[in-house]
Amino acid sequence: MLLLAGLLVACQQAPPPSSPAPSPQNGYGATERAFVELAIATDEQALKLLDLTDSAELKENRNIELAELRKLLDAPYVNNHAGHDMPGMPTDAEIQLASTNPDALKQFVRTHLTESLEVLKSAGPAITHPPTAEVVELMRRHRTAELAAG
Amino acid sequence: MRKPLFHIAAVIGLIATALSIPVAAQGEPVRVAEFLAECPISHRLADDPIVLPNLAGASHFHDFFGNHSTNARSTQQSLEGETGNCNPASDISSYWVPTLYRNNTAIAPTGVTFYYLGEGVNNPAAIQPTPYGLKIVAGNAKATGDADSIARWSCLHAGHVNPSKNFVTCPAGTMLETYLDFPQCWDGRNLDSADHKSHMSYPVAGGCPSSHPVSVPKLRMVLRYPVNGSTAGLRLASGTGQTMHGDFFNVWPRAEMERRVRNCLNVVIKCDHNGNHG
């Protein structure tokens, strides 16, 4: 009986297991989906920090990016990174400190820009879906200009 | 002289019986379905090949155990043929957890054991080898409190400290430890899923549900950190202790996994690192 059950399970297992269907060439695949969800989480959290500054441009750029990123979603957005210590994503503790300390605010804004630029540089070659790659390029351009403006 | 020794042995036996510790007569194997791998920290990276594939440096920091090559771009093909630091050396699987910090100082675990168990299902004889290339995530990196967390923190050598889903204060001379049980029922088809969870399930009432009918070894991760005293400043890269989570990418050589499932789990015997028993 056990042997029979084992054979049945073995039969159920065919065909051999697979990973989720590989994304079509230049399609919106697992890497694109992970990037878009991460970038939305990062930008939304960054806005809480940038709201403490008087820079309209920084806030506007993040909001433009968020609108473009949300267009790429192929499923309801889920924040998988809330509360995490992610590169480019200010933590709640940092935002709280920045709210009373102008030097900390300046430092955390800069860290947000430099770290998220590193993530974008890493994402560049990994992302092959053209519309997502365009948003990566937009975000990279924004941060490069923001850092240059000091 | 022999009589006192006999007494000691008898007392130890009685204590063991009272504590439900299996006591094997000499030459008889312990009837616990188990094999294990011990894998110290290998490296630390802001990568996550399951949650953020190909996005190097985009994650919170993880401590990686086992396979030395694991990074954001790891695949089954890239991991196989590489080496790791597990005992047994044949296990070149990849395991990772969020890095633990005291304030901003990272603390590596000094004891890292992965138990593969036959418990949790009523019929260990039906356990199948973990599919080659299977990815499993356990725990909730997004936990916001106790209610949505399965984390367990306790103290090694201080059993009187109640376990908690968040960090616990361990007495001097003891160590902070954490346990994480991975889901052990597989859907029989997918090595991963979009949310990295729905291809796996925990058993229900001692059996695998019809949605996830294939019973595989229950992976239990036990980490011990050189930490005691106040929990002030302790955090994981993913947040509070409740957010403890673990990732597993199985690249045990098929024959090594199959032999251990057959010789240790299916027949309910405690095996050593090499998958052998007394």
| Strand (E) or helix (H) holding A143 | helix A130-148
- What DSSP character marks residue B264? I
Q: What's the pLDDT score for residue A12?
A: 45
How far B17 CA lies from chain A's nearest CA (Å)?
A: 32
Q: Please report, in tens digits, the pLDDT of each residue of chain A (150 residues total).
A: 444 444 444 444 445 566 554 556 789 999 999 999 999 999 999 999 999 999 999 999 999 999 999 999 999 999 999 999 999 999 999 999 999 999 999 999 999 999 999 999 999 999 999 999 999 999 999 999 999 997
pLDDT at A25: 72
Q: What DSSP line would sit under B144-180, residue for residue?
A: -SSTT---EEEEET-TTSPPBSS---BPTT-EEEEEE
Which residues, given as ranges, of chain B have pLDDT below 70?
1-27
pLDDT at residue A16 in the model: 56
Beta strands at B245-249 and B135-139: parallel, antiparallel or unpaired: antiparallel
d(CA B125, CA B82): 32
Q: Is B188 part of the contact surface with chain A (CB cutoff 8 Å)? A: yes
pLDDT of residue B20: 42
| Residues of chain B found within 8 Å of residue A4, distances taken between Cβ atoms | none
Instruction: Say what the pTM is.
Output: 0.86
Contacts (Cβ under 8 Å, ≥6 apart) of B83: B67, B68, B89, B92
Task: Report pLDDT digits (tens) over B30-84.
Answer: 899 999 999 999 999 999 999 999 999 999 999 999 999 999 999 999 999 899 9
Q: Is B133 on the interface with A (CB under 8 A)?
A: yes
Which of A145, A3, A31 shows the shortest CA–CA distance to B50?
A31
Q: Please choose, from the candidates B207, B277, B58, the residue with its C-alpha nearest in 3D space to the C-alpha of residue A37.
A: B58
- CB–CB contact A85 B238 (8 Å): yes
Residue B224: predicted pLDDT: 98
Question: How buried is B113 (Cβ within 10 angstroms: 0-12 exposed, 13-18 middle, 19+ buried)?
Answer: middle
Give me the residue from A17, A33, A35 closest to B189, CB to CB. Answer: A17
Residue spans per domain, chain A: 28-148
Query: Which ipTM score applies to this complex?
Result: 0.82
The reported pLDDT for the residue numbered B237 is: 97
pLDDT score for A26:
84
In angstroms, the CA B97 to CA B84 distance is 16
Question: What is the pLDDT at residue A23?
Answer: 54
* Cβ neighbours around B196 below 10 Å, total: 18
DSSP element (H, E) containing B224: strand B218-225
pLDDT for residue A20: 54
Q: If contacts are CB pairs under 8 Å, which of residues 139-158 in chain B contact chain A?
A: 141-142, 144
CATH code linked to domain A28-148 = 1.20.1260.10
Best of A3, A33, A85, A120 to mutate (most B CBs within 10 Å, chain B):
A85
Q: What is the DSSP string of B73-120?
A: T--HHHHTT--B--BSTT---EEEEEPEEETTEEE--SEEEEEEE-TT
Q: Is B177 on the interface with A (CB under 8 A)?
A: no
Tokens of A70: 């949300």
Q: What 3-state DSSP class applies to B248?
A: strand
